[in-house]
Amino acid sequence: GDSVTQMEGPVTLSEEAFLTINCTYTATGYPSLFWYVQYPGEGLQLLLKATKADDKGSNKGFEATYRKETTSFHLEKGSVQVSDSAVYFCALSKWGSQGNLIFGKGTKLSVKP
Amino acid sequence: DTGVSQNPRHKITKRGQNVTFRCDPISEHNRLYWYRQTLGQGPEFLTYFQNEAQLEKSRLLSDRFSAERPKGSFSTLEIQRTEQGDSAMYLCASSRLAEVTDTQYFGPGTRLTVL
């Protein structure tokens, strides 16, 4: 069945370090791909999304490119801040407009000053 | 938009009791979703509504679970005869049927603990 695999955490970085969180997916058809973020004590928030191959989603300095050939959607940021500490979830939309999301297990990021 | 709200935020119950959670979606959002999240895992889809119609249910939604969305506004999720395995965070999300890939906006969740 359809699934999302993301790198295990926790990930600990120093402020201003480069961030990559890997995400790969298995799906039939052409899913849409998402990154959601959960800050401590808050609900899930959409960080960015991409709806077709080669699309790049970006927001708040984070970027991810939909790579159909490698079935990947890796999250990157050039310089992380302490305020980026959160749990990041990669997800796919299984049937396009019906939108039922399939999530990965999440990757906890801690950024130290 | 005032955001998706969920009540209660926390619920502690004894095994065998019934519990009901409420979700108020963002105004005018046609779709409403329920997910369950256990510790260390990502959210898992349970069911979704388009307006008042329940269009899909996951196999995770056993016959002890029931969800309603009367009048297409707020929704309730009831769990009957709770079991310890039901302990989880229950998340509600809503979206507007306005684009091919509609963004889901999540509420803060209801954390259920079954003793």
User: Residues A87-99: what's their mean pLDDT?
Assistant: 77
What does the block give as tokens for B105?
């906006």
Tens of pLDDT, residue by residue over A34-44, are 999 999 888 89
The pLDDT score that the predictor gives to residue B101 is 62
Lookup: tokens for B96: 């507007």
Contact B100 A96 (CB under 8 A): yes
pLDDT at B98: 55
The C-alpha of B100 sits at a distance from chain A's nearest C-alpha, in angstroms, of: 5
Q: Which residues from chain A sit within 8 angstroms of residue B91, using beta carbons? A: 43-44
Helix (H, G, I), strand (E, B) or coil at B70: helix
CA A57 to chain centre: 10
| CB–CB contact B40 A102 (8 Å) | no
Residues of B in contact with A104 (CB under 8 A): 42
Which two structure tokens, joined as six digits, stand for B28? 């005018």
pLDDT over 80 at A53, yes or no: yes
Neighbouring CB atoms inside 10 A of A83's CB total: 10
Q: What CA–CA distances, in Å, run from B58 to A8, A80, A102, B45?
A: 26, 37, 12, 7
- Taking an 8 Å cut-off on Cβ atoms, the answer to whether B43 and A100 are in contact is no
Q: How many contacts (CB atoms, under 8 Å) link A and B?
A: 62
Contact between A89 and B43 using a beta-carbon 8 Å cutoff: yes
For residue A95, the model assigns a pLDDT of 59
Q: Given an 8 Å threshold on Cβ–Cβ distance, is A99 in contact with B106? A: no
Highest mean pLDDT among A53-67, A88-102, B52-66, B99-113: A53-67
Amino acid type, A5: T
Average pLDDT over residues A44-59: 94
Closest approach of chain A CAs to the CA of B41, in angstroms? Answer: 4
> Which of A36-50, B56-70, B76-90 is modeled with the greatest confidence?
B76-90
Per-residue pLDDT, averaged over B54-73, amounts to 90
**Cα–Cα distance list, B68 to B9, B25, B71, B78, B107 (Å):** 19, 13, 10, 9, 17
Lowest model confidence (mean pLDDT) among B8-12, B16-20, B50-54, B75-79: B50-54
Q: What is the pLDDT of residue A98?
A: 55
Work out the average pLDDT over B26-53. 92
All residues of chain B having their beta carbon less than 8 Å from the beta carbon of residue A93 are: 101
